[in-house]
Amino acid sequence: MSSGLGGLNKSPHGVVVGLCQLQLPVIETKDQLDAQVDRVCALVGKARRGSTSMDLVVFPEYMLHGLSMDVCDEIMCERDGPIVARLRAACVQHKIWGCFSIMERNPAAPESPFNSGLIFDADGNEVLYYRKLHPWVPVEPWAPGDLGVPVVDGPNGCKLALIICHDGMFPEMARECAYKGAEIMLRTAGYTAPIRDSWVFTNQANAFQNLMCTASVCMSGSDGTFDSMGDGGCEHGRHCSAFPLPTHPSESQAKECSATSTVREARLGWGVENNIYQLGHRAYVAVQGGARDCPYTFMHDLVAGKYRLPWEGQVKHTDGRSCGFPAPVREYAPSAAASNGHGDAKK
């Protein structure tokens, strides 16, 4: 992480990320959704005016829909629809990269939309498209993501990934991002205050364990029922240090991630604690090249479709009925994109 005053003194290979702690909205109608899109587009412009060096502005999960978990078709979005077109146009107008959140209509199961993230470059090209792999059960009704975890070329030559909220509680998610080359991992969220402590230490752990920058941002303020915690910040695994942001609704604060001079240097040069390399090269001091087997039972079982905890039969919450959702009858069927292992951005 650079100390160049939040991008005011941008380093040659740095990436200045603006994290917008958006005010939690109440969205029940298409008119309210349209007004919220206007608000987000205006904040893209505000971010650019406030920081001419900013490369990427990142909005939280639920930026358009709030925390109601409403799956009403009227307020769902499409990847190529008019709502997303307006977000794309804002990036072009203000010459800035943008990371956005939508609840994406699911034609195969209208009752289970996808929780999706999109990143556009400053020319309006879609460079990343991701569907949340781990909806926050039993609270969220979203379909499980089926596109894997894409890693793309980001601004100023960095390698960039996006995960969403609860995804970051699984160390496997951050490891997948790093394994595929990510140097900066974005994490967007709508979390409320009880999650604050775990939000902070998982962001730190994800960075340290993978020698990676993590930039994370959450919704902020209250909608009259829920209080989003608003915490955002950047972590750098090399220094294991935190750069938290104060909680101010709809404020974008910039931090610089120096991917080339820090992440790449550590991944190539560290011996002790180069964990992302050493996972696949165990005990290389004792055996040539290290042991390259897979000693983890849960990995073998997961791949074989036999993942089962010792206490599996005693787990009390295994569907969404405790949160008012009916027990599902549809079984998961991976899409063609998921089965071939690709979650690449649309070209």
Point out the residues that are catalytic.
Answer: 61, 132, 165
CB contact at 8 A, 58 and 91 = no
CB atoms within 10 A of CB 289: 8
Nearest CA among 2, 18, 25 for reference residue 99: 18
Rounded Cα distance between 89 and 144, Å, is: 29
- Pick from 167, 275, 248, 249: nearest CA to 214: 167
CB 96 within 8 A of CB 54: yes
Q: Return d(Cα 220, Cα 24) in angstroms, integer.
A: 6
- Show the tokens assigned to 322: 């405790």
For residues 96 and 55, is the Cβ–Cβ distance under 8 A? yes
Q: What is the dihedral angle through the alpha carbons of 331, 336, 339, 344, rounded to the nearest 10 degrees? A: -120
Task: Note whether 33 and 83 are within 8 A (CB).
Answer: yes
The SS3 assignment for 188 reads: strand
Nearest to 175 by CA among 223, 125, 237, 117: 237
Cβ burial of 122 (10 Å; 0-12, 13-18, 19+) is middle
Give helix then strand counts, H and E, for the chain. 8, 14
